[in-house]
Amino acid sequence: MPHDLMKEQMERREFLTLPLAALAVPGLMAAGAGSAHAATTPARALKGASNGGSDALSFRQIKGLNADWYYTWQSTRTYTGTPFVPMIKDGRRLLEMDALGFVNRELSQTKTKNLLGFNEPDHPLQANMSVDEAVRLWPLLQTTGLRLGSPATVGPTSPWLEQFMLRAKRENLRVDFMTMHCYAWPHSDSFLRKVTALHEKYQRPIWVTEYAVADWNATKTSPSIYTRPMVEKFMRETIVGMRKMPYVERFAWKNRPIDDPIMGTSAMFNRDGSMTSTGKLYASL
């Protein structure tokens, strides 16, 4: 991920100089047209939690964040106290691990109306899927009848995502909302412009399923240059900003271990599981 995300950061300067209208790709806006699944954007964007743990501490952390929803990067839920959104993380889980079977069997309990698509298909350590494979498997996700979130690429300007959406248009595949990952420096205006650009390019609601402040040049001996106060200012400003955007449906801050040199100052929990000041802030927003 560091290599791809460093590239994403380098591209950001050029990206932010473009007028938003110039980012639209002709023919993409109609991809998935005719879907019975209209946008269900709430009055304000819903705050989420991402936590793949299945132990008591993980459950306390999800609850403690006062999240409106959570996901686990999997098709199965772990905690019953907060609304759950399943994900089909990759093709192997879809075909070999009966991920869709789990989604369908749990619908009577989860009552979810949404399904998240493949997780970082453009990253070799995540879904690691070609556009051809993703397009070939996408109709299986459509059989659930749930609203479908696009594959979540490493960054919102990923060529992989653009190619997938072009193919979705051409093959009449349904994509009901766009999902977005973004790990960047603590400049809220730059982040919010990327959210707006993704919406304007594809004309769909937005879910920011992973975001936080990251210093990709940091090491164990030279940790992140971004301080916790800088991170918390960014968190507060971006949440306020997204909740003013009628097309942002949901967001989820990405937690990392507090001793992680790249994203440690974004951590919401200490090593003992207690909340950092950043976690307390997120819970309060």
pLDDT digits (tens, 9 = 90+) for 233-277: 999 999 999 999 999 999 999 999 999 999 999 999 999 999 999
Q: Which of 76-80, 162-166, 249-253 has the lowest mean pLDDT?
A: 76-80
Q: Which residues neighbour 162 within 8 Å (Cβ) at sequence distance 6 or greater? A: 25, 28
Q: Which helix H or strand E contains 73, and what residues bound it?
A: none
Separation CA 31–CA 203 (nearest Å) = 9
2-15+45-67+121-284 homologous superfamily: Glycosidases (3.20.20.80)
The pTM of the full predicted model, rounded to 2 decimals, is 0.86
Strands 178-184 and 69-71: unpaired
Q: Which of 34-38, 60-64, 269-273 has the lowest mean pLDDT?
A: 34-38
Write out pLDDT tens, residues 195-232: 999 999 999 999 999 999 999 999 999 999 999 999 99
Any idea where the domains of the chain sit in the sequence?
Answer: 2-15+45-67+121-284
**How many distinct helices (H) and strands (E) make up the chain?**
10, 7
- Give the model's pLDDT for residue 143: 96
| 160 CB-side CA count, 13 A | 27
Bigger pLDDT: 168 vs 30: 168
Does pLDDT of 184 surpass 50?
yes
Separation CA 86–CA 104 (nearest Å) = 10
pLDDT band at 97 (very low <50, low <70, confident <90, very high): confident
